[in-house]
Amino acid sequence: MPDPEVGKPGVTAKLPPVPDFALPATTDGSHSVKELHVRGHKLLDQDVTVKGVITWAYDCATAVRNEGESDKDVQARIDDDPTICQRAKFYIGDSADIPPEKSLWVVDVPRPYNKKEIANIKKEQRTDPLKCEPNEDPKKNICPPYKVGDQVEITGKFSLSSPHGDANSDGVLIYEKLKNVTENWPPEGWAPPPPPAEGSGAAGGPPPAGSKPSPEDLVKHKP
């Protein structure tokens, strides 16, 4: 009868390193992206300030461009039918090397009025709190400058869904204001716009049926 198999004495199994679950500490009341992903359920539907680096930003021309299409042609298509574009949004992470799928999705970011809106809406009636005039005075402009790699501080409501249908099980940050440390924006003398009037569509609520895919989906399925 063969001897039973037994482990050799003195052999130590090599285990993988224990993941680092420590959360970045802050002293100013702000939060890290990692903290919101780990403990975010305690902060749902609350206003928070998050510091991080932009890791991905939605660009309509890049998203809808056909193979071989020139900048002029893709812009002409956007001008003709701006509904092919999604709402302005971006991702932030605790560092520049964080992949988009592990970053925090920032939604309802202000954007300039498009060409059709300018043609069809009188200037005195262009008062949407999430839109600004193209090439507006920086001291009046509510549209923040931002690009991948910028260090930012963003204040907004942390929620599972936005008023306009963007939803993510890890939470989204509904934009209220931004400080771009890299671009030194907003400029001195800038004041945030007044909050939108009740009933203007800025209130929270469940996402409507048929809401558009998240930036994470776009990144994963990018051709």
The confidence score (pLDDT) of residue 194 equals 64
Question: pLDDT grade, residue 136 (50/70/90)?
Answer: confident
198-210 pLDDT, tens digit per residue, is: 554 443 344 433 4
- The more confident residue out of 152 and 221 is 152
110 secondary structure, DSSP code = -
Per-residue DSSP letters for 67-109? Answer: TT--HHHHHHHHHH-GGGSPPP-EEEESSTTS-GGGSEEEES-
Task: Provide the whole-model pTM.
Answer: 0.75
